[in-house]
Amino acid sequence: MTDAVYLDYNATTPLRPEVRDAIVGALDHVGNPSSVHRFGRTARRMVEDARERVGALAGVAPTQVIFTGGGTEANNMVLRCVPATRRMVSAIEHDSVLQAAADADLLPVSADGVLDLASLDRMLAEASGTVLVSVMLANNETGVIQPVADIARICRAHGALLHCDAVQAAGRIAIDCALLDVDFLSLSAHKLGGPQGVGALVLRGDRVFDPLLRGGGQERRRRAGTENVAGIAGFGCAAELAVRGLGDQDRVAALRDAMEDRLRTAVPDAGIHGAGAPRLPNTCCVSMPGVPSETQLMALDLAGIAVSAGSACSSGKVKASHVLLAMGVGEEEAGSALRVSLGWATGPADTDRFVEAWTAVHRRTHRPAS
Ligand code: PLP
């Protein structure tokens, strides 16, 4: 469909043209970064160049960046490999954290989706040994931003380690690891205009832990395997463009806010989840009471509009989103939520098309009985 509208940037972001060029340029070069000859040295330079740019995105030195096969791998490295006697994760984490730490204590959030700091403080005070805490910087479904610097202060006071999944935040808000004061931070290239299947784990200092992948000595012995040179080169280019493009986020927020105003006007009982908390500029999670998310998704897809359900599909069954349930949203309302996520190529024509199609679905499903 030529006039398709893509509003699913939180699932994956369209590749920026400059990133595509960087990837193709790297693919055209033969060389393993571990080889000592000139071909290898050129490949190594591409990887180290990208490491510098990704470090700049997170406000850290390049030596603190370990390239991975994506955000899921970075999260698994921390949750499965960092030694801790106990782990605590927020109830709204991505599955790549929740599943990697299935025995973790869940930290509650408020109705707006913000971590309950008093509960964190109390749970840490009651715990003994080394605790590893994991709280995301911004939620993938609602866009709600967590007060990570405050969370870090509480963790420090109790001697706990802090991991932060910044996969959705990177490129949408500025990230400064020194201000956030986290021990580990996860990133993923495809959420910020880079390719899929490449990410990074940012480490404070020289943290030692057993690698998830064993073999060669790549990535300073923390992640074995020949580097994905083309993917990493694309990640580096996307990271630099994302830093430069942060100024565009005001435009994206204005588009999102105007879209939400129109949704609320058209359907006054539409719930916009997390709207009372600081949020990413690009994300809107909206419920249409009484209409299941799948029904809305299919109708929108037929109209050429791509968005996501605010729910997870597993073994053929659509479950209400664990994020919305943790915020105290009822099963039915949670089961009628959509996630609309905007980005660098989104314009007013795209959000207009969504508003029109979504309100048409509402009209069709709420026709008075004749
Ligand atoms: N963390 C969050 C918050 C995400 O939204 C995602 C992907 O949707 C991931 C981690 C996983 O990242 P990747 O797709 O690079 O494995």
Q: Give the model confidence (pLDDT) of 187-232 as tens digits.
A: 999 999 999 999 999 999 877 789 999 999 999 999 999 999 999 9
CB of 188 shorter than 6 A to ligand 1: yes
Q: What percentage of the chain carries pLDDT values higher than 90?
A: 93
CA distance 214 to 153: 34
Residue with the nearest Cα to atom 13 of ligand 1? Answer: 71
Q: What percentage of the chain carries pLDDT values higher than 70?
A: 96
Mutating to test ligand 1, I would choose from 168, 188, 285, 321 the residue with most ligand atoms within 8 A of its C-beta, which is 188
> What integer is the mean pLDDT of 164-180?
97
Q: How far is the CA of 11 from the centre of ligand 1 (A)?
A: 8
pTM value is: 0.96
Residue with the nearest Cα to atom 8 of ligand 1? Answer: 11
Which pLDDT score is estimated for 32? 97
Q: For 48-90, how does the pLDDT look when each residue is reduced to its tens digit (9 = 90+)? A: 999 999 999 999 999 999 999 999 999 999 999 999 999 999 9
Report residue 290's pLDDT band, with 50, 70 and 90 as the boundaries. very high
CB of 140 shorter than 6 A to ligand 1: yes
CB of 194 shorter than 6 A to ligand 1: no
Q: Which of 118, 96, 164, 110 is nearest to 142 (CA)?
A: 110
Mutating to test ligand 1, I would choose from 146, 191, 322, 323 the residue with most ligand atoms within 8 A of its C-beta, which is 191
Which pLDDT score is estimated for 311? 56
**CA angle 242-246-249, nearest 5°?**
120
Which pLDDT score is estimated for 206? 76
CB of 249 shorter than 6 A to ligand 1: no
pLDDT at 2 over 70: no
Task: Enumerate residues 6+ apart whose C-beta is below 8 A from 202.
Answer: 55, 58, 60, 64, 65, 66, 177, 184, 185, 186, 187
Specify whether the CB–CB gap between 101 and 135 falls below 8 A.
no
Q: How far is the CA of 76 from the centre of ligand 1 (A)?
A: 11
Q: For 108-130, how does the pLDDT look when each residue is reduced to its tens digit (9 = 90+)? A: 999 999 999 999 999 999 999 99
Q: For 201-213, how does the pLDDT look when each residue is reduced to its tens digit (9 = 90+)? A: 999 987 778 999 9
Average pLDDT, the chain: 95
> What integer is the mean pLDDT of 33-52?
98
Q: How far is the CA of 72 from the centre of ligand 1 (A)?
A: 6
Which pLDDT score is estimated for 3? 87
CB of 70 shorter than 6 A to ligand 1: yes
CB of 72 shorter than 6 A to ligand 1: yes
Active site residue 313: yes
Q: Which atom of ligand 1 is nearest to the CA of 189?
A: 15
Please list the helix, strand and coil fractions of the chain in percent, rounded to the nearest 5, in that order.
Answer: 40, 20, 40
The DSSP annotation for 70-113 comes to SHHHHHHHHHHHS--SEEEEETT--HHHHTTTTTPEEEPB-TTS
> What integer is the mean pLDDT of 277-284?
98
Which pLDDT score is estimated for 205? 81
Residue tagged 């030692």 (tokens): 208
Q: For 297-349, how does the pLDDT look when each residue is reduced to its tens digit (9 = 90+)? A: 999 999 999 999 965 544 445 678 999 999 999 999 999 999 999 999 999 99
